[in-house]
C-alpha cells in the first residue's frame, strides 16, 4: 500500500515539475496539449453528474404498484414456510465410521 502511494506521489510530482518547467520556457502555449484531455474530462464528469441527478429524480416519482397474483403469493408463502422452523434438525443418512489405525494422543493438539 505504501509502495503504491510512493509511486503515485513521485509520478504526480514529476508531472507538476514538467508542467512548471514547460510553462516557464514557452508560456501559455505549454497548456495547449492539455485542452483536449480537460474537455474530455469535463464532458465525462457532466455526463456522470447528469445521469446521477436523473436517477435521483426518477427515484422521487411515485411508482405504480402491481398487485401480485395469488399463484405468486402462494409460491412466496411456500418459500418462507420451511424457514420458520429453525429449531428442528434434519436427519442425514450418513454415519461416522471409526478408522482402524487408532488414535495417537501424541499428534493431537493440546488446545483447540
The pLDDT, as a whole number, for residue 10 is 96
d(CA 39, CA 44): 9
Chain segment 16-32, per-residue pLDDT in tens? 998 888 888 888 887 78
pLDDT in tens, 92-109: 888 877 777 766 666 666
pLDDT at 83 over 90: no
Identify the three-state secondary structure at position 107. Answer: coil
Q: What is the DSSP letter of 29?
A: G
Lowest mean pLDDT among 7-11, 26-30, 47-51, 86-90: 86-90
CB 22 within 8 A of CB 30: yes
Give yes or no for a contact between 44 and 37, defined as CB atoms under 8 angstroms apart: no
Cβ-proximal residues to 19 (8 Å cutoff; 6+ apart), any chain: 30
User: Is 0.75 surpassed by the pTM of this model?
Assistant: no
Amino acid at each position: 500500500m505504501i509502495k503504491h502511494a510512493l509511486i503515485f506521489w513521485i509520478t504526480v510530482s514529476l508531472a507538476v515539475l514538467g508542467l512548471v518547467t514547460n510553462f516557464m520556457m514557452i508560456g501559455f502555449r505549454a497548456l495547449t496539449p492539455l485542452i483536449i484531455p480537460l474537455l474530455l474530462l469535463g464532458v465525462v464528469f457532466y455526463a456522470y453528474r447528469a445521469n446521477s441527478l436523473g436517477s435521483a429524480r426518477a427515484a422521487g416519482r411515485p411508482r405504480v404498484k402491481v398487485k401480485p397474483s395469488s399463484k405468486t403469493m402462494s409460491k412466496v408463502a411456500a418459500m418462507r414456510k420451511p424457514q420458520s422452523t429453525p429449531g428442528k434438525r434434519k436427519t442425514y443418512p450418513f454415519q461416522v465410521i471409526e478408522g482402524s489405525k487408532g488414535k495417537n494422543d501424541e499428534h493431537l493438539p493440546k488446545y483447540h
